[in-house]
Amino acid sequence: MELLLILIIALIIFGPSRLPEIGAALGRSIREFRQMSQELTTELSKELQAAAEAAKERERAEEEKAEAQKTEAEKAEEGEDDATGSVPAG
């Protein structure tokens, strides 16, 4: 019902000769809007995926760093044990 009312008002305002032109222009505008919206969605998805991958990479690097520090600490601790155990008394 509302669509019919809108069409009647458009017919009165623009006249029957310009109505097809306006309809075509409106159709093009809607198509362009949908295309831009799809492109924006695609770009946003790509950026979010890249950010997620970067976060995972950063997390992996932090885990590797923590593991390396743990290994170094264990080696240093073993070195201390060896050094204190080999000192003769007296």
Please write the tens of the pLDDT for every residue from 35-49: 999 999 999 999 999
In the prediction, which pLDDT does 90 show? 52
Question: What is the residue extent of each domain of the chain?
Answer: 18-78
Please write the tens of the pLDDT for every residue from 10-69: 888 888 888 889 889 999 999 999 999 999 999 999 999 999 999 999 999 999 999 999
pTM above 0.75, yes or no: no
In the prediction, which pLDDT does 74 show? 86
Quick check: 22 and 14 in contact, CB under 8 A? yes
